[in-house]
Amino acid sequence: MNIHIKSILSALAFSLFFYSKSFGLNLFLISIMVVVLVSTMRKERSVPWGYSVAYIGTAVFVFLNPSGFTIFVHLMTFMVFVGKSISQKSSVYLTWFLGISNMLIASIANHFKKQEIEQGVEKKEQKDISPKLFNRLKGGLAAIVLLFIFGMLYRNANPVFGNLIEQINLDFISFPWLFFTLLGYIIFMHLLRPFDAQELIEFDLAQKNELKKPTEIVLIGEKKKLEGEHTLGSMVFIALNLLLLFFLTTDVVYLFEETVITNAGLSQSVHQGVYALMFSIVCAIALILYFFRGNLNFFQGNKRIKSLTYIWIGLNVILVAFTAYKNYTYVETLGLTYKRIGVFVYLLLTLTGLVTAYIKVAQVKNFIYLVRTNIATVFAFLIVSAAIPWDKTITWYNLNTIENPDINYLFRLGESNSEQLYNYAKANTSKVEINIKDNIDEKYTEFVEAQSEKTWQEYTLYQIAKNETK
């Protein structure tokens, strides 16, 4: 089956699943279809099965918990999957770029590439559709367009012909549906016939993660320069280590002193700790990249600056731990919010950045290694995060562990916690104000009505569970 027929059939399925529909089961079904289609493509590259599982898995997350975040992660994973289907060995950031660019300009780029081939290069891969069938398709499309144009002209010239034309009812044709289906055709056409950006792929593959070791002659020639950099770097890291050590000491005193810390004080401490950590990490990465950018990595007398760098990284890890403890205390006292979860996320990613910075110095890696590793880590973390229904998790934790939860905050979260709030308000009428309870009842009613109106394409776990309990 040629690519055009596959694209047309896929576009019809695309319209069936998504036209005037919200996301749910349809996203899972189309994801399976996309993976199957890519696996049938006739090319040398194999299907990136690991990323295929991640792509379908994020569609399952949308089915379980349809939210803006899970949909965003799914679309990000789709772009990376498309890029990996073009070049599996490329970095995540490049495959993401390849995925986006292919969805936008693949047909245009392939058109120019085809013109270049026709100017002198052998055309070996032009057998997707026979010239005879292609001419028939073009002729049919041209005939339809011309029939419409001349029919409108002749209608005004001949009253009898005009009456016949007016009796033709074209209300069954939905132009928005046709446009949506055309969009689906373009998407699948780009997916099945992507643009192979060989220059970008080859450039990315040529970038190694390790620094190139210089010859002994080069090191001898730069000895004085490297000794100067070593001395400067050592002084800088000694000063910063002493300052950070003093800050951590005062932080220990603040955390474990007998006086009770107020909520406002704890909040300020957490925020200031995050700000200090952000500045500290930015400085650490910048200094490490500067001093270990080149031949100082291979200088035999660099042990002192390396040791000071490891101490600096270790002290920052302790700062991460202290900030995490303060944020945990904050959550334990006042409950979960997206901002407090965001602090934990930032701390975890910061810890990853510190580990990769240590590896960069210890194993003589370059800047490209840091970029590749940290972007891949963020991408993996996004996929894992999408598996967690955050609105429901925050609501469950606050209602079950906090004595006086902030109902107003929980009410402002997404619609997925409507049932939890409704049950809580029903069981704790004395704790919930009447106006808040009325708002919760209204939110729950609107949620139930919206869920009951969904078609099978939009089904989520909520509809499946409700149908089983009936």
Q: Where are the domains of the chain?
A: 1-207, 216-365, 390-469
Q: Is the pLDDT of residue 121 over 80?
A: no
Residue of 368, 371, 307, 317 whose CA lies nearest to 347: 317
> Rounded CA gap, 341 and 350, in Å?
14
- In this prediction, residue 423 carries a pLDDT of 92
Quick one: average pLDDT of 196-206? Answer: 78
- Amino acid identity of residue 456, one-letter, is W
Most confident of 103-117, 250-264, 454-468: 454-468
If one compares 339 and 296, the residue with the highest pLDDT of the two is 339
| Distance in angstroms (rounded) separating the CA atoms of residues 281 and 154 | 74
Dihedral of alpha carbons 342, 348, 351, 353, sign: negative
Please determine, for residue 52, whether its predicted confidence score (pLDDT) is greater than 70.
Answer: yes
Three-class DSSP labels, 187-237: HHHHHHCCCCCHHHHHHHHHCCCECCCCCHHHHHHCHHHHHHHHHHHHHHH
Q: To 10 degrees, what angle do helices 68-86 and 25-39 make?
A: 0
Arithmetic mean of pLDDT, 318-323: 87
% residues pLDDT > 70 (the chain) = 82
pLDDT digits (tens, 9 = 90+) for 230-259: 888 889 889 988 988 988 888 788 777 655
Say whether pLDDT at 429 is over 50.
yes
What does the mean pLDDT of the chain come to?
Answer: 82
Contact 201, 94 (CB under 8 A): yes
- Average pLDDT score over residue span 189-198: 78
**φ/ψ (deg, to 5) at 372:** -60, -45
Whether the pLDDT of residue 180 is over 90: the answer is no
Residue 126 has pLDDT above 60, yes or no: no
pLDDT grade for 88, boundaries at 50, 70 and 90: confident
Greater confidence, 91 or 41? Answer: 91
Phi then psi for residue 98, to 5 deg, are -60, -40
The listed range with the strongest mean pLDDT (135-139, 176-180, 293-297, 320-324) is: 320-324
